Amino acid sequence: MSSHTASQRYLSTRGGSYDLSFEQVVLKGLASDGGLFIPEEIPTLPKDWASNWQHLSFEHLAYEIFSLYISPSEIPAADLKGIIHRSYSTFRVKDITPTVTLDEKNNIHLLELFHGPTFAFKDVALQFLGNLFEYFLVRRNENKTGRSREHLTVVGATSGDTGSAAIYGLRGKKDVSVFIMHPQGKVSAVQEAQMTTVMDANVHNLAVDGTFDDCQDFVKALFADPEINKTHRLAAVNSINWARILAQITYYFYSYFQLIRQPSFLPASTVRFVVPTGNFGDILAGYFAKRMGLPAEKLVVATNENDILHRFWQSGKYEKQPVHGKEAEGGIPEDGVKADEGGVKETLSPAMDILVSSNFERLLWFLAYEVYSTNSDAVSQRRAQAGDHVRSWLNDLKTEGGFRVDQQLLKAAQADFESYRVSDEETLETIKDTFASASSKGYVLDPHSAIGVHAAYRSAKVSTPPSTHHIALATAHPAKFSNAVERALSDENDHFQANILPDEFKGLEDKPRRVSHVRKADGWEGVRRVVIAEVEAELQAAEKAANSPSHSLLRLPNITRSSFFDFTNIKRRDVLPLPPTRTRQLETDTTTLLCPEATIQRTTLAIHAGGKLCTRHDPYGQALSKVDVLVLVYWMLFRTLNFINMYIRRQYLHEEGTLNHALTLVNDAGCFFQNTRQGRSLDVWATSYHTYISTVLSVPPPARSLWMCEAPRCVTITTVFSVPVTRSFFLGVKLLGASQPPPYSRTPTQL
Ligand SMILES: *Cc1c(COP(=O)(O)O)cnc(C)c1O
């Protein structure tokens, strides 16, 4: 692959395969020799990276970093930028992963990684992975129709965070079905609701009456089953997928640049990243960043009482030590602690309850490569030797429950890393102390993030020089593990409900759910039956929808005036001015569901300016009157619906006579449909300048089957178009409002 640099080609940690492309590695997940994929070399940063990258937006920075690992011959620059943009436009803040200062005196900062759709850090990687899968498939399926299209069946098991992030990453993606097994009744209520209330036809939740380990065993059995592998292309989304590690590298750089801009960061200051660690995925991304050249003094591994990694850094021994019985009991069942009973200790931070850390194998390979071979050996020989070491260690882990490395290798590991173990008690104390302390101003940590913060304070006590800054990674929103947080802040429950609980979580548990139940007694063959049947049903429904366009799909929603403009749902927030660019390209992603029976119940408009949601303000900071807003909403909606109508009729249906082409546009936008208690919500939004209009449609029951087009999926038509927006756009809208009767008095037929 001459078009690929060494860091754009991949090999297996166990020596079985070399010279693979990024696409092969992402679609395969795990190497056939059981190893994990790593780039053949860790790239070094371009010469002027520090000055050239420091002011880049998160998306641009991600592009620069990903380009080092992905050859443009595989994903052309413009496509990669598009994938990145789609992946991060689902985040709620402009910075994607902002860094905030928690304690000025001790230079402790928090890198907030929970502003994505499921409120945990795994979104950063899984939003990207979902779009990558789709990109590769759409490309492979160009000019193919029906059954000749390649279809990806993603199968995974979850005890909570991974499953919801994977579902939100893959929902509505073309040519991809996703099956996530969870132990029934053993994941936290919020996580279960997040997963099962997603109604996209390609999302399949399987509740198993067993533990996480049972689910995991089913997944492994499916991947090993020759029969299903003959008919279905299986793919994995767990943290061993290389694309997940890659996506996580960005925020180490982004956070570093945010930190060094602060006045408290002096020329002699240094930085340590502290990472709450389970499977070693998140912190491994930090290791790549450091090896690429990011000046991080140390990476600090913070574990809970499942401390295999901490023990390794203390002793050089990597050993499973299953804990059973009384000893293992801790944590809160309602937060999902009983999901995993494979001998791990149950703690307040269930997303880190692991016996062994699968990504640690990747670090071992790099350490072995560095330590055991000399520079005079040929590179290929050094690689093969590193693979041999890894294979034999992992073999010992399997057969003897552990292995020990020698002093030389341990020293190399200690050069980059340090480790701390944090108990449940210390976790609760940290949540409490942080909330109460004057410097952190009532900040509420989730139990995982608290482990990082606790370790950061311990590291701050011993690190030299005293001007060391600590960036602790905040991996989840406190509302996701609310029982532990409420236990720590037992006097503050009203505060939690009123100020901490995100709107997205309110009423989540009352929404309709879609989940299939799988009996453990039916074994993995039972799961296989369900997977095969549901993929088949999905494909048939898609074929049917593609071949028989129903004319009702051509009609616009019947917009009635009833409570169209009800602003009760709007919250006033801070306003931040947009950058002074006056002209921007507006890229509008619109999605509509064309159902004649729909009525619009509520419309809200929010202008998302500079990272904060504000309402009734135009992006230039001027207050808009209520009439301005009405006009703006109506104008956007009117234009959008008209446009879609015209577009589909002229461009697609008349020319081609099928819905197929219109449907291929679906993949160009994210998934903007949400089920609400009232009905479906139609979101019209313009991502790049962040105007967001959300309209809740209600559909009377008899229309629902039509709406669903007989398949358990609604038909969505998506278009992407661009309109240049200037200040005159807003003025124009205002003038329109002043000189004409309010357009919302028109009847729907005039649309
Ligand atoms: C997954 C997860 C972790 C652990 O991350 P690893 O990459 O497995 O080390 C920590 N905190 C939360 C909230 C998580 O969901």
CA angle at residue 608 from 497 to 664, to 5 degrees?
Answer: 105
Q: Is 239 in the pocket of ligand 1 (CB under 6 A)?
A: yes
Name the pTM for this structure.
0.75
pLDDT band at 566 (very low <50, low <70, confident <90, very high): very low
Max intra-chain CA distance, the chain: 82
Residue 195 to residue 180: CA distance in whole angstroms: 9
Which pLDDT score, from 0 to 100, does residue 239 have? Answer: 78
Across-strand partners of 605? 693
Q: Is 120 in the pocket of ligand 1 (CB under 6 A)?
A: yes
Examine the pLDDT at 513 and tell me if it is beyond 80.
yes
Residue 549 CB contacts under 8 Å (≥ 6 apart), including other chains: 653, 657, 658, 659
Which pLDDT score, from 0 to 100, does residue 609 have? Answer: 27
**CA-closest candidate to residue 195, choices 288, 101, 117, 294:** 117
Tens-digit pLDDT profile for residues 225-272: 999 999 999 998 887 899 999 999 999 999 999 999 999 999 889 999
Mean pLDDT of 102-110: 95
Q: Is 448 in the pocket of ligand 1 (CB under 6 A)?
A: yes
Report the separation in Å between the CA atom of 270 and the middle of ligand 1, taken as the mean of its atom positions: 25
Q: Is 116 in the pocket of ligand 1 (CB under 6 A)?
A: no
Q: Which of 51-65, 321-335, 608-622 has the highest mean pLDDT?
A: 51-65
Examine the pLDDT at 186 and tell me if it is beyond 60.
yes
Q: Which atom of ligand 1 is nearest to the CA of 480?
A: 13
Higher pLDDT, 124 or 690: 124
Which pLDDT score, from 0 to 100, does residue 135 have? Answer: 93
pLDDT band at 377 (very low <50, low <70, confident <90, very high): confident
Tokens 């029906």 map to which residue?
A: 146
Examine the pLDDT at 694 and tell me if it is beyond 90.
no
CA R_g for the chain: 26
Q: What are phi and psi of 68, to 5 degrees?
A: -70, -20
Pocket test for ligand 1, best of 112, 121, 240 (most atoms within 8 A of CB): 121
Residue 153 CB contacts under 8 Å (≥ 6 apart), including other chains: 176, 177, 178, 179, 232, 233, 234, 235, 531, 535
107 and 460 in contact (C-beta within 8 Å)?
yes
Examine the pLDDT at 587 and tell me if it is beyond 60.
no
10 Å CB burial of residue 609 (0-12, 13-18, 19+) is buried
Report the separation in Å between the CA atom of 121 and the middle of ligand 1, taken as the mean of its atom positions: 7
Examine the pLDDT at 691 and tell me if it is beyond 70.
no
CA angle at residue 129 from 124 to 135, to 5 degrees?
Answer: 135
Report the separation in Å between the CA atom of 437 and the middle of ligand 1, taken as the mean of its atom positions: 26
Strand 402-404 with 516-518, pairing = unpaired
pLDDT band at 216 (very low <50, low <70, confident <90, very high): confident
Q: Is 278 in the pocket of ligand 1 (CB under 6 A)?
A: yes
Which pLDDT score, from 0 to 100, does residue 236 have? Answer: 86
Q: Which atom of ligand 1 is nearest to the CA of 160?
A: 15
Which pLDDT score, from 0 to 100, does residue 48 have? Answer: 95
Q: Which of 312-326, 640-654, 695-709 has the highest mean pLDDT?
A: 312-326
Tens-digit pLDDT profile for residues 446-463: 999 999 999 999 999 988
On average, the pLDDT of the chain sits at 75
Token pair for 17: 């395969």
Residue 473 to residue 110: CA distance in whole angstroms: 6
Which pLDDT score, from 0 to 100, does residue 341 have? Answer: 63
Report the separation in Å between the CA atom of 122 and the middle of ligand 1, taken as the mean of its atom positions: 7
Report the separation in Å between the CA atom of 318 and the middle of ligand 1, taken as the mean of its atom positions: 20
Is 6-28+38-94+118-243 CATH 2.30.42.10? no
**CA-closest candidate to residue 684, choices 644, 743, 627:** 644
Which pLDDT score, from 0 to 100, does residue 367 have? Answer: 97
Query: Mean pLDDT lowest for which of 56-60, 70-74, 323-327, 520-524?
Result: 323-327
Which pLDDT score, from 0 to 100, does residue 342 have? Answer: 66
Mean pLDDT of 175-179: 94
Q: Is 244 in the pocket of ligand 1 (CB under 6 A)?
A: no
Which pLDDT score, from 0 to 100, does residue 54 have? Answer: 95
Sign (positive or negative) of CA dihedral 189, 191, 197, 202: negative
Catalytic residue IDs: 122
Tens-digit pLDDT profile for residues 287-301: 999 999 999 999 999
Residue 497 to residue 484: CA distance in whole angstroms: 14
Categorise residue 175: left if φ over 0, alpha if ψ from -120 to 50, beta otherwise: left
Q: Which atom of ligand 1 is nearest to the CA of 284?
A: 7
Examine the pLDDT at 493 and tell me if it is beyond 90.
no
290 and 379 in contact (C-beta within 8 Å)?
no
Q: Is the peptide bond before 465 cis (omega within 30 degrees of 0)?
A: yes
Residue 261 CB contacts under 8 Å (≥ 6 apart), including other chains: 54
Examine the pLDDT at 572 and tell me if it is beyond 50.
no
Q: How many Cβ atoms sit within 10 Å of the Cβ of residue 642?
A: 12
Examine the pLDDT at 664 and tell me if it is beyond 50.
no
Which pLDDT score, from 0 to 100, does residue 443 have? Answer: 94
Pocket test for ligand 1, best of 194, 246, 352, 422 (most atoms within 8 A of CB): 352
Which pLDDT score, from 0 to 100, does residue 618 have? Answer: 34
**CA-closest candidate to residue 188, choices 338, 291, 65:** 338
CA angle at residue 500 from 499 to 501, to 5 degrees?
Answer: 105
Q: Is 353 in the pocket of ligand 1 (CB under 6 A)?
A: no
Pocket test for ligand 1, best of 475, 477, 480 (most atoms within 8 A of CB): 475
Residue 68 CB contacts under 8 Å (≥ 6 apart), including other chains: 5, 7, 8, 43, 292
Tokens 């021994």 map to which residue?
A: 317
427 and 389 in contact (C-beta within 8 Å)?
no
pLDDT band at 323 (very low <50, low <70, confident <90, very high): low
For 253-509, CATH number?
Answer: 3.40.50.1100
**CA-closest candidate to residue 36, choices 20, 5, 14, 7:** 14
Residue 502 CB contacts under 8 Å (≥ 6 apart), including other chains: 119, 477, 479
Examine the pLDDT at 548 and tell me if it is beyond 90.
no
Token pair for 409: 């290798």
Query: Mean pLDDT lowest for which of 214-218, 281-285, 707-711, 730-734?
Result: 707-711
Q: Is 301 in the pocket of ligand 1 (CB under 6 A)?
A: no
Residue 166 to residue 93: CA distance in whole angstroms: 20
236 and 417 in contact (C-beta within 8 Å)?
no
Residue 609 to residue 621: CA distance in whole angstroms: 9
Same fold, 6-28+38-94+118-243 and 253-509: yes
Which pLDDT score, from 0 to 100, does residue 704 have? Answer: 28
pLDDT band at 83 (very low <50, low <70, confident <90, very high): very high
Residue 596 to residue 559: CA distance in whole angstroms: 9
pLDDT band at 324 (very low <50, low <70, confident <90, very high): low
Examine the pLDDT at 613 and tell me if it is beyond 50.
no
Q: Three-state DSSP class for 108? A: strand
Residue 368 to residue 10: CA distance in whole angstroms: 17
Which pLDDT score, from 0 to 100, does residue 194 have? Answer: 92
Examine the pLDDT at 716 and tell me if it is beyond 60.
no
Q: Is 273 in the pocket of ligand 1 (CB under 6 A)?
A: no
Mean pLDDT of 334-353: 79
Query: Mean pLDDT lowest for which of 375-379, 645-649, 740-744?
Result: 740-744
Token pair for 264: 């408290």
Q: How many Cβ atoms sit within 10 Å of the Cβ of residue 651?
A: 14
Residue 376 CB contacts under 8 Å (≥ 6 apart), including other chains: none
pLDDT band at 405 (very low <50, low <70, confident <90, very high): very high
CA distances from 36 to 14, 32, 169, 238, 719 (A): 8, 9, 22, 12, 39
**Atom 4 of ligand 1, residue of closest alpha carbon:** 278
Which pLDDT score, from 0 to 100, does residue 509 have? Answer: 80
Report the separation in Å between the CA atom of 584 and the middle of ligand 1, taken as the mean of its atom positions: 38
CA distances from 546 to 14, 133, 357, 653, 657 (A): 45, 22, 44, 12, 10
Mean pLDDT of 368-373: 90
514-543: b or e for each residue (b if 16 or more CB lie within 10 Å)? bbeebebeeebebbbebbeebbeebbebbe
Examine the pLDDT at 592 and tell me if it is beyond 70.
no
Q: Locate the domains of the chain by residue range.
A: 6-28+38-94+118-243, 253-509, 554-750
Residue 540 to residue 375: CA distance in whole angstroms: 57
Examine the pLDDT at 113 and tell me if it is beyond 70.
yes
Examine the pLDDT at 681 and tell me if it is beyond 80.
no
Which pLDDT score, from 0 to 100, does residue 2 have? Answer: 75
